[in-house]
A and B are shown apart, each in its own frame.
Chain A
Amino acid sequence: MIQLKNIERNYKTGAGFTWVLRRVNLDIQQGEFITVMGPSGAGKSSLLNVLALLDDQWKGEYWFREQTVHDLKRKQRSELAKRNIGMVFQSYHLLDDLTVEENIDLPLSYKDIPRHQRQSLVADALDRFQIVAKKGLYPSQLSGGQQQLVGIARAVIHKPPLLLADEPTGNLHSGQAKEIMELFRDLNQQGTTIVQVTHSEANAAYGSRTIQLRDGWLVGDTANPALTQPTEVSAS
């Protein structure tokens, strides 16, 4: 489904460049549930942003279902993301001024979908995630777990084949975290490819494959036990 080849990403700093991703090579198959782990600053979120096509300052090659992302223009990448990718954030990132229903509808509102169809999709999602009773409430009226539920509903409303989750349970207590992870497992079993970033071994256990990042390098992959840690190259 996804193939990354020699993906590199750096940021300009006063002293030169800080590398956050170094020559990352990664193949993601349709239906996988991948967990990205590593210490803080390892480049997990940066990798997720590259996969989400939110970042376009990287170098290297990126194929998404045979499409050469690295050759696409910004607008085409944005279109590709809109159709294929859903995002779940640690801080939920719900819009405070919109109701649950309106938040879920948000990704659909950026597509050419007729209003009645959007309404029925939202109603389905509310039903599926059992939050119909909350549809008129604002995020501030929900618990953290409920907010993340809404975040996931919003991420999958347009049925994306790829769901990216950046520490989706980071702000939740263990009970709520478990519910969310089970939801992810269900989604994965229904065919959604999932890439999650987490620090939690328990959450990782829900996945089918775990990759390890350190200082921007891909240093471990359960699907490729032969992967060894490369030599550190100083920043230039």
Chain B
Amino acid sequence: MNGLFQDVRYALRQLRKSPGFTVVAVLMLALGIGANTAIFSMVNAVLLRPLPYEEADRLVMVWEQNPHRGWFENIVSAENFLDWKKQNHVFADMAAFESNFFNLSGGSKPEEIAGERVTSNLFSVLGVQPVRGRLFLPEEEKRGSAVAIVSYGLWQEHYGGDPALVGKPISLNGEAHTVVGILPASFTDDYSASFAPHSRVWIAGLNLQPEGREWHDYHAIARLKPDVTLVQAQTEMDTIASRIEQQYPESKGWGVALVGLHDQVVKYTRPALLVLLGAVALVLLIACANVANLMLVRATGREKETAIRAALGASRGQIIRQFLVESTLLSMIGAALGLVIAGWGSEILVRLSPPETPRLEGAAIDGYVLLFTVVVALGTGIVFGLAPALGASRPNVNESLKESGRSSSTSAKGRRLRDALVISEFGLALALLVGAGLMVKTLLHLHRVDIGLSPDNVLTLKVPLEGPQYEDQRRQAEFFQQLLARIEALPGVESASVSRGVPMYGWAGWNFVTADHPNPPAGEVPDANYVVIGPHYFRTMGIPLRLGRPFSDHDTPTTEPVVIVSESLARKHWPGQDPIGKRLKVSSDANDKGLPWLSVVGVAGNVRSEGQYAPFVPELYVPYTQGPWLLWPRHIMVRTASSPTAIVPTIRREVAALDEDVPVSDVSTMKEIVAGPVRQGQTVMWLLGSFATLALVLAAVGIYSVISYAVTQRTHELGIRMALGADRRTVVNLVVKQGLVLATVGVAIGLAGAWGMAHFVSRLPFEARLLLLFDVQPTDPLTFVAVPAILAMVALLASYFPGRRAAKVDPIVALRYE
């Protein structure tokens, strides 16, 4: 222990003695360890931290799936849910919920909050207890029980932490609901946040009733029995689903898909985080290789010291320990600085992350992250310290102690090791750069995707009309008619429309039949996005009308019911025919008397309404002026002549002028919405690009230092060559060639690695791959040519400067070196 203490003291003195070396090494390590710690803080928060539910690993999401039609995680029908619940033996319990929005009134201004209508057992399935009050009771299952549980945040922010809130009524959509419980501050709705904004209120009364198995409306979550695995549960649910499929023709093709809740929550974020973690690990390895190189050079300069120690009786182990203490001390100092960098980095990462990234609220430097950093620092210290320590532990005492001995003589083994380190740096940097290159190309492709609409200068706002006064659709239509007239009269507004939802977020799908094929076989009823819009919708959104006419104010409940279909729908159902005048009914039953046949009056251009990643899906548009609608319009779209955000306060005033209880929420420009689906990719690209640049700089520093050192080592040789007639250019070429050979070998190895990695990525499931590489081959030829070229250029530059210095070697001085 005493010896170790002495080693630490001596190591500190050594580091103080070479401040240049210490600063450079610490900086490189701090960058490497800091980047790793920052990314790990995200990985820890998002992927490793258990979900805030009791025995969360037993929670699973239960989906319906129809692989034949390309639907894999579909919300479920009430009947199927009830049958599953009754027939299964694998779940301790099952709960269902429906995401919703509620107008919370009673405060200073109306506010729309996200919430859920749930089965009364949701919280007991999750294993959550309230901090105040109680959970829902089974008898509160029925609609009309009007009880609510609120989040801790809503309690604090909206009700000032009122200790007597439990038992009081709150107004949701104009109806009084009694608060029966308040959830703990640690509770998060991770189980559903990826499907909807964070919920702040839960109301009982989902009251699942048979309404037809073709109606898929609810999310389902279940808790596995303690001794049941996910695979066993899936097997039983498959059996139940196939029984239901045989029993009910409308369920043809539908099965059940179970997804572990944790996997469900992080499935879109995990690939990106793992890629980033891999990237920073590579950066750290490159930094390690660089510091190892510096240590090797330093060890060479300390041969005499080591020889004296050996001559005085130091064992091999003692010499190794002394070197390792020094390297570990370096990495610990690097880690301390790295923690500071990680603190900033972690904040920046959270800020850079798309808002939909799950579980970010816990991203911080906590005990686990600290432990990770210490382990990484210790590992790093050993990784870069071991080779120099082993090399120095067998000094040639006889040679080293000779006064005349060339102090900087270098063994071929040491040189090979340094070369190998530089080669590996280039290999690692190449892998990172290829990854970043592929991401850049992916993003370029995503930005070039034709989404079918023109998002510039378009504002979207949510104006939800809830409550008893708007239950009559005619009242809603009147409100929107007045509001649109007011908005379109505002200066700078070119056009405005209502819409059910916003493109890019996806719409609700609906079954329909055409008059040409009124009776499709069960399970093969076509479906399309059902979009309720205003007459100026296409003009406002910049969606071209290919055929026919847009809607007008003359399309009213008393005129012929009309519909506009998308090109893809028209092409699929009336190939080679004029779709104008064709008829369809938005129902799976052509004989449904309650719903009218709609005449096609127009064909609109296709829109990627489910994001750039998704293909065009068929859409059918119906005019809000011609009720009844199956879904209520909630959004207002406004096209302005210039930047649309300035007009928001005016629109708020116009809404309040019509009804001061109607909230305005989700204000956003269409440009922001279009950028939404690519935000994660963009963040990953920037981060990967930054890490790749860092790797490139570190690799350049690596090759520069090795070549510089080699030039010092070769002074004598270069002097002889110059004395024998080598001119300056020859010497520069000689040195640059050495750098290029190392870089080329590194690049070749890196290419082989990157190629292997690309094939691995190409075998990933489609969804995971899509998030990283969109429309880009993992073996994209341009990237695989451009990246080695960049690395070769960097190697050329990094070797050129030492080469130029070598050319200035004075042969007389060099020859006197002997």
**Same complex origin of A and B:** yes
Q: In the complex, which residues of chain A have a beta carbon less than 8 angstroms from the beta carbon of B725? A: 78, 81-82, 107, 110-111
CB distance from B562 to the nearest CB of A (A): 86
Q: Contact flags (1/0) for B722-733 with A, using CB distance below 8 Å?
A: 111111001000
Q: How far is the CA of A81 from the CA of B724 in the complex (A)?
A: 9
Q: In this assembly, does A44 line the interface, its C-beta being within 8 Å of a C-beta of chain B?
A: no
Known: A54-B812, A89-B815. A110 touches B720 (CB 8 A): no
CB distance from A161 to the nearest CB of B (A): 15
Contact of A49 among B720, B730, B812 (CB under 8 A): B812
CB of A93 within 8 A of CB of B720, answer: yes
CB of A91 within 8 A of CB of B818, answer: yes
Within 8 A of B (CB), among A73-88: 75, 78, 81-82, 87
Q: Contact flags (1/0) for A86-113 with B, using CB distance below 8 Å?
A: 0101010111000000000011001100
Q: How far is the CA of A111 from the CA of B727 in the complex (A)?
A: 10
CB of B727 within 8 A of CB of A93, answer: no
Q: In the complex, which residues of chain B have a beta carbon less than 8 angstroms from the beta carbon of A87? A: 723-724
CB of A75 within 8 A of CB of B727, answer: yes
Interface centre among B720, B721, B726, B818, by most A CB within 10 Å? Answer: B720
CB distance from B311 to the nearest CB of A (A): 25
Q: Contact flags (1/0) for B149-184 with A, using CB distance below 8 Å?
A: 000000000000000000000000000000000000
Q: How far is the CA of A36 from the CA of B371 in the complex (A)?
A: 72
Q: How far is the CA of A107 from the CA of B721 in the complex (A)?
A: 8
CB of A106 within 8 A of CB of B724, answer: yes
CB distance from B536 to the nearest CB of A (A): 79
Q: In this assembly, does B780 line the interface, its C-beta being within 8 Å of a C-beta of chain A?
A: no
Q: In this assembly, does B553 line the interface, its C-beta being within 8 Å of a C-beta of chain A?
A: no
Q: Contact flags (1/0) for B709-737 with A, using CB distance below 8 Å?
A: 00000001100111111110010000000
Within 8 A of A (CB), among B344-389: none
Contact of B721 among A78, A81, A106, A111 (CB under 8 A): A106
Interface centre among B721, B815, B818, by most A CB within 10 Å? Answer: B815
Residue of B nearest to A166 (CB): B815
Q: In this assembly, does A124 line the interface, its C-beta being within 8 Å of a C-beta of chain B?
A: no
Q: In the complex, which residues of chain B have a beta carbon less than 8 angstroms from the beta carbon of A106? A: 721, 724
Residue of A nearest to B722 (CB): A54
Q: In this assembly, does A182 line the interface, its C-beta being within 8 Å of a C-beta of chain B?
A: no
Q: In this assembly, does B34 line the interface, its C-beta being within 8 Å of a C-beta of chain A?
A: no
Q: In the complex, which residues of chain B have a beta carbon less than 8 angstroms from the beta carbon of A93? A: 716, 720, 723, 815, 818
Interface centre among B720, B722, B725, by most A CB within 10 Å? Answer: B725
Q: How far is the CA of A52 from the CA of B812 in the complex (A)?
A: 10
Q: In the complex, which residues of chain A have a beta carbon less than 8 angstroms from the beta carbon of B717? A: 95
CB of A154 within 8 A of CB of B724, answer: yes
Within 8 A of A (CB), among B601-650: none
Q: In this assembly, does B334 line the interface, its C-beta being within 8 Å of a C-beta of chain A?
A: no
Q: How far is the CA of A54 from the CA of B723 in the complex (A)?
A: 7
Within 8 A of A (CB), among B679-725: 716-717, 720-725
Q: In the complex, which residues of chain B have a beta carbon less than 8 angstroms from the beta carbon of A52? A: 723
Residue of A nearest to B811 (CB): A54
Q: Contact flags (1/0) for B782-818 with A, using CB distance below 8 Å?
A: 0000000000000000000000000000011001001
Q: How far is the CA of A111 from the CA of B815 in the complex (A)?
A: 22
CB distance from A197 to the nearest CB of B (A): 13
CB distance from A160 to the nearest CB of B (A): 10
Q: In the complex, which residues of chain A have a beta carbon less than 8 angstroms from the beta carbon of B721? A: 95, 106, 110
CB distance from A171 to the nearest CB of B (A): 10
Residue of B nearest to A94 (CB): B720
Known: A89-B815, A110-B725. A95 touches B730 (CB 8 A): no
Q: In the complex, which residues of chain A have a beta carbon less than 8 angstroms from the beta carbon of B811? A: 54
CB of B724 within 8 A of CB of A110, answer: yes
Q: In the complex, which residues of chain A have a beta carbon less than 8 angstroms from the beta carbon of B720? A: 93-95
Interface centre among B722, B723, B726, B730, by most A CB within 10 Å? Answer: B723
CB of A110 within 8 A of CB of B726, answer: yes
Q: In this assembly, does A55 line the interface, its C-beta being within 8 Å of a C-beta of chain B?
A: yes
Known: A87-B724, A106-B721, A110-B725. A55 touches B812 (CB 8 A): yes
CB of B727 within 8 A of CB of A78, answer: yes
Q: How far is the CA of A154 from the CA of B721 in the complex (A)?
A: 12
Q: In the complex, which residues of chain A have a beta carbon less than 8 angstroms from the beta carbon of B730? A: 110
Q: In the complex, which residues of chain A have a beta carbon less than 8 angstroms from the beta carbon of B723? A: 52, 54, 87, 93
CB distance from B606 to the nearest CB of A (A): 67
CB distance from A90 to the nearest CB of B (A): 8
Known: A95-B717, A95-B720. A110 touches B727 (CB 8 A): yes
Q: How far is the CA of A75 from the CA of B720 in the complex (A)?
A: 17
Residue of A nearest to B719 (CB): A93
Q: In the complex, which residues of chain B have a beta carbon less than 8 angstroms from the beta carbon of A111? A: 725
Q: How far is the CA of A110 from the CA of B731 in the complex (A)?
A: 10
CB distance from A151 to the nearest CB of B (A): 10
Q: How far is the CA of A94 from the CA of B721 in the complex (A)?
A: 10
Q: In the complex, which residues of chain B have a beta carbon less than 8 angstroms from the beta carbon of A54? A: 722-723, 811-812
Residue of B nearest to A90 (CB): B818
Q: How far is the CA of A110 from the CA of B726 in the complex (A)?
A: 6
Q: In the complex, which residues of chain B have a beta carbon less than 8 angstroms from the beta carbon of A107? A: 724-725
Q: In the complex, which residues of chain B have a beta carbon less than 8 angstroms from the beta carbon of A89? A: 815
CB distance from B589 to the nearest CB of A (A): 88
CB distance from A10 to the nearest CB of B (A): 14
CB distance from B675 to the nearest CB of A (A): 58
Give the A-binding residues of B (Cβ under 8 A): 716-717, 720-727, 730, 811-812, 815, 818
| 17 further contact pairs, Cβ within 8 A, besides A89-B815, A110-B724 | A52-B723, A54-B722, A54-B812, A75-B727, A78-B727, A81-B725, A87-B724, A91-B818, A93-B720, A93-B815, A95-B720, A106-B721, A107-B725, A110-B721, A110-B726, A110-B727, A110-B730
Give the B-binding residues of A (Cβ under 8 A): 49, 52, 54-55, 75, 78, 81-82, 87, 89, 91, 93-95, 106-107, 110-111, 154
Listed A/B pairs (14) with beta-carbon separation below 8 Å? A55-B812, A78-B727, A81-B725, A87-B723, A93-B716, A93-B720, A93-B723, A94-B720, A95-B717, A95-B720, A110-B721, A110-B724, A110-B730, A154-B724
